[in-house]
Amino acid sequence: MLHITIPKTKKRLYNEVKNEFTYIEIPKDVELVLEHSLVSISKWESKWHKPFLLKESKSADEILDYVRCMTITQNVSPEVYLCLTDENIIDIKNYIDDPMTATTIRQDPNAPHNREIITSELIYYWMITLGMDIEVFQKWHLNRLLTLINVCNIKNAPPKKMTQRQLINKYAAMNAARRKRSGSLG
């Protein structure tokens, strides 16, 4: 979870629809608790009807709405989000990008790339397939959850088939070990 403080402020905004300036006042500091999780992404995708994890850039409204979806704090005035500071935005970005785990998974450069579009429903499917407790894991930091899913897939994967050369070397080593044990020359 990320805790950020939006300082008390008075801000002037321009409303393009009404062609006028409006003022927002936050009379005291506001503490927000945010969570970058599968639940947050599900909320965002249900509103915007597009995958959150695509590399495409998002509009300012989409980004601001994702911060709203991440918010655990109750009864937050919508104007508060318009008063996020640059420091708040940097903290949120760093929190979203944080792997939240010590585990690193090395990608095989020769492995085929999966071009499947990842949505919250696909991640829920993976969790169901792996027998994970959805109620517990859907609130984990998303990067940590995806790492856990990758680890489960790696550990559950069938052993890779050996190449012809690897098989020949394996059998040659086994034969050499047998000859050595039995004292045979061939």
From first to last of its 186 residues, what are the pLDDT tens digits of the chain?
A: 999 999 999 888 887 888 888 888 899 999 999 999 999 999 999 999 999 999 889 999 999 999 999 999 999 999 999 999 999 999 999 999 999 999 988 877 666 777 889 999 999 999 999 999 999 999 999 999 999 999 999 889 888 888 888 889 989 999 989 988 888 876
End-to-end, the C-alpha distance of the chain in Å comes to 66
**In Å, what is the CA distance from 160 to each residue of 41, 141, 154, 156, 163?**
34, 31, 11, 12, 9
Token pair belonging to 178: 């047998």
pTM of the model: 0.78
